[in-house]
């Protein structure tokens, strides 16, 4: 049985947290608008456990929770390089993004986009790659991250108004958080990234969503894709984590396929929520859609 949840305004439980922490990129499927709902499913004693986020994306939930110990992961190599660079070399990154900020133009955009089509792309430094991704993300069409079958960034220029490439306050706050807490950053398969999760740990899965129609699939996030077989593999991983005593929360589309995958009422409860999709390659596809939150049987705050 799927419960229909009506979102309501809630007061943040995190008044003692750093409110400057927020995503440094726009990201398809980002969770900023769903944070009031997600907060309702934070387990009790969260502050004393370890947090895992195998599909960290732009990190909206991570930066809202601000755990002291966490394992964050993503299959997107360029995204994870951004996190690692912000942690290790924030000043160098900001210096380069300040230079990029001076030239927001179609010509500069396509110069930077073209770099991953050249044989010497791998010779770029971590800082150069991170600054490039941030620039492309802030100036491309609709804030998409999409690559073609060769792994090349292929989103067109967006002609955005006054994009902020060098966000010194946010990048500085993220670097401080990542360095002052025990945050491990990895670029692995999602299953491998939770292999060390133990009883009581909290794991939030926000995978590429099951498409609600044949035309809505977004497969350009990374080269591996995420089809039905991967969704089934994820469900098996969730089952094994629940059996291990972990506390599992998962977001996905409210499709019959996903609801059936997690229909084991002994393991999971399913909450259906309305969300607004703000990033989509087709403007008419934006708007209210139904998503599900699936969580294992644990006590919430």
Which tens digits make up the pLDDT trace of 35-60? 999 999 999 999 899 999 999 999 99
Q: What is the pLDDT of residue 223?
A: 53
CATH number for the domain formed by residue range(s) 81-169: 1.10.1020.10
Confidence at residue 14, expressed as pLDDT on a 0 to 100 scale: 47
Q: Is-same-fold flag (2-75+188-296; 81-169)?
A: no
Find the range with the poorest average confidence among 105-114, 148-157, 193-202, 230-239: 148-157
What does CATH list as the number for 2-75+188-296? 3.40.50.150
pLDDT tens-digit series, residues 194-236: 999 999 999 999 999 998 865 554 445 555 678 999 999 999 9
Which residues neighbour 141 within 8 Å (Cβ) at sequence distance 6 or greater? 155, 156, 157, 158, 281
CB atoms under 10 Å from CB of 118, counted, come to 10
Task: For the chain, give every domain's residue range.
Answer: 2-75+188-296, 81-169
Distance CA 65, CA 101 (A): 30
pLDDT at 31: 83
Query: Is residue 284 classed exposed, middle or buried when 0-12, 13-18 and 19+ CB atoms within 10 A define those classes?
Result: exposed
* Token digits of residue 33: 């608008």
């Amino acid at each position: 049985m799927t419960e229909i949840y009506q979102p309501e305004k809630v007061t943040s439980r995190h008044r003692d947290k750093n409110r400057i922490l927020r995503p440094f990129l726009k990201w398809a499927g980002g969770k900023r608008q769903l944070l009031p709902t997600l907060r309702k499913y934070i387990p009790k004693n969260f502050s004393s456990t370890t947090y895992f986020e195998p599909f960290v994306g732009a990190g909206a939930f991570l930066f809202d929770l601000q755990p002291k110990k966490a394992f964050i992961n993503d299959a997107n190599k360029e995204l994870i390089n951004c996190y690692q660079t912000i942690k290790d070399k924030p000043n160098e990154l900001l210096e380069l993004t300040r230079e990029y900020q001076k030239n927001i133009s179609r010509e500069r955009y396509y110069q930077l986009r073209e770099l991953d089509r050249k044989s010497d792309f791998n010779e770029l430094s971590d800082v150069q790659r991170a600054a490039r991704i941030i620039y492309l993300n802030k100036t491309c069409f609709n804030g998409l991250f999409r690559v073609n079958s060769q792994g090349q960034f292929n989103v067109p220029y967006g002609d955005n108004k006054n994009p902020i490439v060098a966000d010194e306050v946010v990048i500085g706050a993220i670097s401080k958080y990542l360095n002052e807490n025990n945050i491990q950053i990895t670029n692995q398969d999602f299953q491998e990234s939770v292999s060390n999760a133990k009883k009581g740990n909290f794991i939030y899965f926000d995978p590429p969503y099951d498409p609600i129609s044949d035309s809505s699939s977004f497969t350009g996030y990374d080269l591996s894709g995420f089809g039905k077989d991967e969704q089934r593999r994820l469900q098996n991983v969730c089952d094994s984590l629940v059996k291990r005593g972990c506390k599992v929360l998962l977001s996905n589309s409210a499709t019959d396929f996903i609801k059936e995958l997690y229909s084991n009422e002994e393991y999971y409860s399913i909450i259906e929520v309305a969300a607004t999709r703000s990033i989509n390659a087709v403007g008419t596809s934006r708007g209210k859609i139904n998503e599900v939150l699936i969580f294992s049987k644990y006590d919430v705050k």
